[in-house]
């Protein structure tokens, strides 16, 4: 992901002073989804594994626990509340305002409290193929690490209804947006704006090592990285995204062949967003197509050993910062084949081209977000040694033939679609939904979309297009 970092602070713009303390650090848990991509290699779908990381927060007095994704690409806290009786809410924790002595029901997004007889505003947020509607609430939110607890007063969206897909399939309860105020309903809804020291830091564990992922608020931990942090100034902060200026992407080395990703921009740079909520390297179709053509990875892994490093050149506070991804960091290589961990998405209208730097960067690099000083810093993460594989000899029991699988049932779930405020599957197909939201197609509209398994081929979810639409501001619009 990030570059080979040079050791001396004077030469590279790194910092050698100790990190701030007095904050809180606590663990994150990994949730992995296994997808099958379109097309086949040697008769099988290539599989891709994508991750989400979530942790525990507490709302109210006394505290009510919630597991949330920590997402630097959105700006609001969103959790289900007791009034939500939809299936996805019923399978997750729900906020009980009447059991919290510090809860305040809000009528408007400006913080106006609800009084008896008042009407109240609601917000509908759409992202991907999912949708949720909620009411405004204010309460205490606390996070806790070893021997430390920090609490903040925060306005948030208490969900009253949400679509079955994808929320019923997720193991976490909600989302804590860690973007800046431009992504929140108002600054009072923005968690980062409530921090006394608006600093965040992420360490994503190596799944092959004995270590935990973690997030830090109001501090960062020098023991989690090697050398010095390399700082990059933030660009376009009013958007709410943690964006830096991307100069270009180079093949094999910092002085290698430039892809020409940003040549069409007036100042020779384009935008790159650091997003902990994105599992993949994403961007508009032009940028992702150029990257995929440049690496030219074969699905059967026949040219895997020859795939080049990708060097992402970023405008730094003191010169260029080179962030490098090697082939094993941007390609998911498995027995089924090789799949580049990148995908195009449709950016909101009016948004200029940009790349979204997702979790591959965060696993290789320790990243610090510093809003007060308008910069982000990165250094090579210090991972624990890989676990040793222990092989023991044992006598295998005679294998018996597996029982025959029952015939697969292939049918549409039209009732579930209607409950999620979505069209029936035949109309969903007419609107082009089978290609645009393939995960929804494969889970709810297999018959209409022609995704019924053939010869009982258990290929999992087939992706024809993956989309991550940014969370809305809470006014029904998307960003």
Catalytic residues: 71, 275
Cα dihedral sign for 122, 125, 130, 135? negative
Can you say how many angstroms the Cα of residue 279 is from the centroid of all Cα atoms in its chain?
5
361's enclosing H/E stretch is helix 359-364
H-helix segments, 96-135: none
Centre a 10 Å sphere on the Cβ of residue 17 and count the other Cβ atoms it contains: 9
- How deeply is 265 buried, as exposed, middle or buried, from its count of CB atoms within 10 A (0-12, 13-18, 19+)? middle
The total of other beta-carbon atoms located within 10 Å of residue 365's CB is 29
Q: Which helix (H) or strand (E) holds 105?
A: strand 104-105
Two tokens, residue 72: 């630097």
Euclidean distance between CA atoms 206 and 212, whole angstroms: 8
Among residues 215, 89, 111, 209, the alpha carbon closest in space to that of 161 is found at 89
Distance (Å, whole) CA 228 – CA 8: 8
- Return the SS3 of 87: helix
């Amino acid at each position: 992901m990030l570059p080979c970092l040079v050791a001396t602070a004077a030469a590279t713009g790194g910092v050698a002073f100790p990190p701030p303390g007095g904050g809180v650090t606590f663990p994150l848990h990994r949730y992995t989804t296994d997808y099958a991509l379109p097309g086949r290699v040697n008769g099988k779908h290539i599989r891709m594994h994508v991750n989400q990381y979530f942790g525990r927060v507490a709302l109210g007095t006394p505290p009510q626990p919630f597991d949330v994704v920590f997402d630097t690409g959105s700006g609001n806290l969103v959790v289900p509340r007791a009034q939500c009786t939809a299936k996805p809410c019923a399978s997750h924790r729900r906020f009980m305002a009447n059991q919290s002595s510090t809860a305040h029901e809000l009528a408007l997004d400006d913080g106006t409290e609800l009084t008896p007889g008042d009407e109240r505003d609601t917000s509908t947020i759409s992202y991907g193929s999912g949708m949720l509607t909620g009411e405004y609430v204010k309460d205490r939110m606390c996070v806790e690490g070893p021997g430390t607890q920090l609490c903040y007063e925060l306005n948030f969206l208490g969900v009253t209804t949400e679509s079955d897909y994808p929320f019923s399939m997720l193991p976490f309860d909600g989302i804590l947006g860690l973007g800046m105020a431009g992504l929140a309903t108002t600054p009072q809804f923005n968690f980062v704006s409530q921090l006394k020291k608006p600093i965040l830091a992420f360490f994503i564990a190596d799944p092959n090592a004995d270590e935990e992922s973690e997030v830090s608020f109001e501090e960062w931990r020098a023991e989690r990285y090697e050398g010095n942090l390399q700082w990059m100034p933030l660009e376009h902060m009013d958007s709410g995204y943690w964006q830096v200026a991307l100069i270009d992407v180079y093949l094999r080395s910092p002085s290698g062949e430039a892809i020409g990703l940003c040549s069409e921009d007036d100042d020779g740079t384009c935008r790159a967003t650091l997003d902990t909520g994105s599992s993949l390297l994403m961007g508009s179709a032009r940028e992702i197509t150029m990257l995929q053509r440049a690496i030219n990875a074969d699905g059967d892994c026949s040219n895997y050993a020859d795939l080049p490093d990708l060097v992402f050149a970023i405008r730094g506070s003191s010169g260029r910062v080179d962030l490098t991804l090697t082939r094993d960091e941007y390609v998911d290589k498995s027995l089924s084949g090789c799949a580049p961990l990148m995908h195009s998405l449709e950016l909101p209208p009016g948004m200029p081209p940009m790349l979204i730097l997702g979790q591959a960067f965060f696993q290789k690099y320790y990243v610090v977000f510093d809003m007060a000083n308008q910069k982000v810093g990165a250094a090579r993460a210090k991972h624990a040694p890989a676990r040793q594989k222990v092989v023991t000899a044992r006598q295998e029991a005679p294998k018996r033939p597996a029982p025959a699988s029952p015939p697969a049932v292939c049918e549409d779930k039209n009732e579930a679609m209607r409950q999620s405020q979505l069209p029936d599957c035949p109309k969903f197909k007419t609107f082009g939904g089978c290609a645009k939201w393939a995960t929804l197609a494969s889970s709810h509209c297999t018959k209409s979309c022609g995704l019924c398994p053939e010869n009982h081929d258990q290929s999992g979810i087939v992706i024809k297009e993956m989309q991550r639409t940014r969370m809305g501001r809470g006014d029904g619009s998307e960003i």
